[in-house]
Structure 1
Amino acid sequence: MRVLLVNQFGVNTGFYLLIPYLATHMTEDLELSAALVGVVLGVRNLSQQGLFLLGGTAADRLGVRGVIITGCAVRTFGFGLFAIGDSPAVLLAAAVLSGVAGALFNPAVRAYIAVETPAPRRAEAFALFTVYAQTGALVGPVLGSALLLVDFRLSATVAAGIFALLTVIQTLVLPARAVPAAPTSVLADIKACLANRPFMAFTVAAAGLFTLQNQLYLVLPFEANRATGWAGSVAGVFVLSTVVTLVGQVRITRALGDVSRKRAIAVGLLVMGLGFLAPAASYLWPALSVPAVVVAVLGLAVGTMIAQPFVYELVPAFGAERVTGTYFGVFYLVSGAAAAVTTVVVGWVSDAGGWWACLVCAAVGLVCAAGMRIPERTATWATS
């Protein structure tokens, strides 16, 4: 667990050290068109989101340790290509490798934690995992901005070096797990997962968590800029969200240890959704715009802290231990697709007014919270 926590800190540090500055590098340093930049970034995202299932099934069949190490090694090469490449072909190859790497180690790491952590402490383990991830997400951009004072290629080289170091550390230290024999084929396991109605209902409802989290990059920056008239206020959104998470995540998860998991997740989704009503109302009372953004950021952060560890805790409860990776892969694939579609809708309605976007986000939280509370007698998580 300690190795995986350090790994996630390093993964997010290396990722956020490079990716937030990639678009600027391609447009300003390499003078590529905005359309081509969009293709490169889209390919990276598609390579990761679209292949989560591959990473999950590989973790079940080949072992989580090997898949995690392979993922870090592949991202080392991907980020290394960003450091040396200046042609569209090389940049696209780097984007694909970087995305595939994330698709490999993301479900594998969570499957490893879920299987190795005793059930009573699983939610707390995922809470700690979130804290380390958020710390990396805070350190990465700061380190990246400092390295950019020298050169983007130095940033990419350091990011690749971080993943190379993680590859070596995990090869030497991360314990291997025995891979149980698989009595069924990969396709049969995936079909069984998709046919698991309680799991799919849970996944669709939990997708609201990731949909609303994505608004930290779309709706809330827009609202912060509108409220203050200062582009630098966007950074304050991320800092506030990160600091609140670092301070409160483990405490909140421990405090909710005896609460029904379904109820806790539903409350978290509800808090996330209700937070967006504040900026929607500020269109009627502009003087409250700044406090409204703070309320939305806090609602999003607190709701995520309430729900996310328990979501990760329950995903493997729907299937046998040997297919934990497959279930995480399907969960991420469905959640990612739902988040992408909803974010497009949010962006579309924003043209009619920012308050519409806030209301859509609030509705997502309310609907998904209600969906999480739908009785399901056949689900193992109904009474958990």
Structure 2
Amino acid sequence: MSAATVSRSLNPLRRWSLLARFAGLPCVAQLLLLTQLAFNLGFYLVVPFLAVHLADDLAMAGWAIGVVLGVRTFSQQGLFVVGGALADRFGTRPVVLAGCAVRIAGFVVLAFAPTFPVVLVGAVLTGFAGALFSPAVEAALADEGTALERRGTITRAELFALFAICGELGAVAGPMLGAALLRVDFTLTCLVAAAAFTAILFGHYRLLPGIPARSSGEAAFAGWGEVLRNRAFLVFALGYSAYLVSYNQLYLALPVELQRATGGQWALGWMFALASVLIVVGQLPLAAWARRRLGAARALPLGFGLLATAFAAVSVSAPTEPPSGSFALAPAVALVTCLTFGQMLAVPVAQDLVARLAGERRLGSYFGFLSSTGGLAVLAGSAGVGAMLDRAYTPTPDAALPWVVMAILPTVGGVVLWLVARRTPPPAT
């Protein structure tokens, strides 16, 4: 009996169990999954509380805090393409190790930074570190997923789903631990995060194999030319950026809706907890169902349709006075639920499609370019959406406008990805 047959014969509950799937993976795949958990744990220990530290402990002005947070985001998301190209040129292992070392340095700088310029240096270091190791880890995971799918252990899309779950577990645990440590001192919080990344660094040094460079002997950024000549991928990246802009509205538009509905932000933490629970419980079975029953050409437009539905649901209620009691939260719950299910359905399938569009080559450059494109789209889209969201604080007819515009964006993105997916050959079986 083949490995694929054995996998299909397992009890569905076992197939979808996170622990069962994780335990059945080889050491390298487990390391990469735990890496994502540890990355997010260390990251969310510090970054959600950075603004509070800058305002309360260092008495920085609002503009300065905005500059620090904006530079940190751009130095990571905008430079992913650099990290991906370096991973293709030098291999994933040295780039991951370098990224861990840079983030350790960034957290140490933030721990003791007394002034705005020094804080800015720490923010750039922490951001650029993510630009180094994230595309490298995703490329290594795609390589590992290809090998495991050929052996019938797990599909690559399902491995990316496990990757998302592990990241979400870290994103949940990080802020909880960070909030506890912040009661003692922000310096301690940063040092604990630095210690976590030190452990990651040594773990990868000992366990991560030296995956050969994909473009050894070429210029470090030679892969960019190949990416820019791949028209199908460029169209895919533009369509996929609609997801990144849409999901970013959990941080930008959701607080506005909660303010309209309840007059405050007391429910914001519960909304993020809802998203995390949905991902941890539902990501793996939903990704498996999408991969086996739908395929990319149907899963992607369906997922993006759910993103559009999230904003359409709020647009219906935005012009009206909110009801009393817990019913006022219904549009926000619909927004979070549809966005989360749309993400769970579309993203693992999309990440698998990236590797196929890339011809299984230069995956670091491709994943890096995808993230950088999304980062620029979020930067531009958030500015435009933020300006329109001023209309959504009070229940007037104009309040529906920003939500309608946000619903149109993933609708168009879903159509674009559907066109790309239906023209892309299916994975070999």
TM tier, smaller? over 0.9
1-structure distance, mates of 2:144, 2:228: 25
1:261 and 2:266 matched: no
Give the deviation of 1:192 after TM superposition: 2.1
1-structure distance, mates of 2:291, 2:49: 39
Give the deviation of 1:36 after TM superposition: 1.5
Task: Say if 1:219 and 1:357, in contact at 8 Å, map to a contact too.
Answer: no
2-structure distance, mates of 1:294, 1:76: 37
2-structure distance, mates of 1:318, 1:366: 22
The residue number in structure 1 matching 2:19 is none
Give the deviation of 1:247 after TM superposition: 0.5
Give the deviation of 1:379 after TM superposition: 4.2
Task: Say if 2:300 and 2:418, in contact at 8 Å, map to a contact too.
Answer: no
The residue number in structure 2 matching 1:332 is 371
Give the deviation of 1:383 after TM superposition: 11
1:277 and 2:312 matched: yes
Residues 382 and 208 of structure 1, relative CA distance in 2, 3 Å threshold: farther
The residue number in structure 1 matching 2:180 is 146
Corresponding letter in the other structure for 2:124:
V
2-structure distance, mates of 1:39, 1:376: 39
The residue number in structure 2 matching 1:296 is 335
Task: Say if 1:376 and 1:382, in contact at 8 Å, map to a contact too.
Answer: no
Give the deviation of 1:66 after TM superposition: 1.3
- 1:359 paired residue among 394, 404, 427: 404
Say what the alpha-carbon RMSD is for the aligned residues.
2.0
Corresponding letter in the other structure for 1:75:
R
1-structure distance, mates of 2:102, 2:118: 15
Give the deviation of 1:381 after TM superposition: 6.2
Task: Say if 1:67 and 1:105, in contact at 8 Å, map to a contact too.
Answer: yes
Give the deviation of 1:283 after TM superposition: 2.4
The residue number in structure 1 matching 2:226 is 192
The residue number in structure 1 matching 2:387 is 348
Task: Say if 2:73 and 2:127, in contact at 8 Å, map to a contact too.
Answer: yes
Give the deviation of 1:188 after TM superposition: 4.1
Structure 2 unmatched runs, 5+: 1-28, 393-398
Corresponding letter in the other structure for 2:314:
P
2-structure distance, mates of 1:202, 1:124: 21
1-structure distance, mates of 2:372, 2:85: 12
Q: Identity across aligned pairs (percent)?
A: 37
Corresponding letter in the other structure for 1:272:
L
Q: TM-score, normalised by structure 2?
A: 0.85
1:372 and 2:417 matched: yes
The residue number in structure 1 matching 2:71 is 43
1:174-323 to structure 2, matched below 5 A, reads 174-180=208-214, 182=216, 185-258=219-292, 259-285=294-320, 286-287=322-323, 289-323=328-362
Moved more, 287-296 or 298-307: 287-296
Give the deviation of 1:164 after TM superposition: 1.0
2-structure distance, mates of 1:55, 1:225: 38
Give the deviation of 1:355 after TM superposition: 2.6
2-structure distance, mates of 1:186, 1:378: 31
For 1:218, what is the secondary structure of its paired residue? helix
Give the deviation of 1:292 after TM superposition: 1.4
2-structure distance, mates of 1:13, 1:161: 11
1:162 and 2:162 matched: no
Aligned length: 384
Structure 1 unmatched runs, 5+: none
Corresponding letter in the other structure for 2:378:
A
**1:271-311, CA deviations, whole angstroms, 9 ceiling, x for partnerless residues?**
01111111211124432642111111100010000001011
Corresponding letter in the other structure for 1:139:
A
**1:70-108, CA deviations, whole angstroms, 9 ceiling, x for partnerless residues?**
111110110111111112221111111111100001111
Give the deviation of 1:257 after TM superposition: 2.2
1-structure distance, mates of 2:82, 2:263: 44
Corresponding letter in the other structure for 2:291:
G
Residues 298 and 378 of structure 1, relative CA distance in 2, 3 Å threshold: closer
Task: Say if 2:287 and 2:345, in contact at 8 Å, map to a contact too.
Answer: yes
Corresponding letter in the other structure for 2:261:
A
**1:4-48, CA deviations, whole angstroms, 9 ceiling, x for partnerless residues?**
111111111111111011011111111111112222112211211
Task: Say if 1:375 and 1:382, in contact at 8 Å, map to a contact too.
Answer: no
Residues 159 and 33 of structure 1, relative CA distance in 2, 3 Å threshold: same
Q: TM-score, normalised by structure 1?
A: 0.95
**1:141-181, CA deviations, whole angstroms, 9 ceiling, x for partnerless residues?**
11111111111111111111111111111111122212355
Task: Say if 1:221 and 1:237, in contact at 8 Å, map to a contact too.
Answer: no
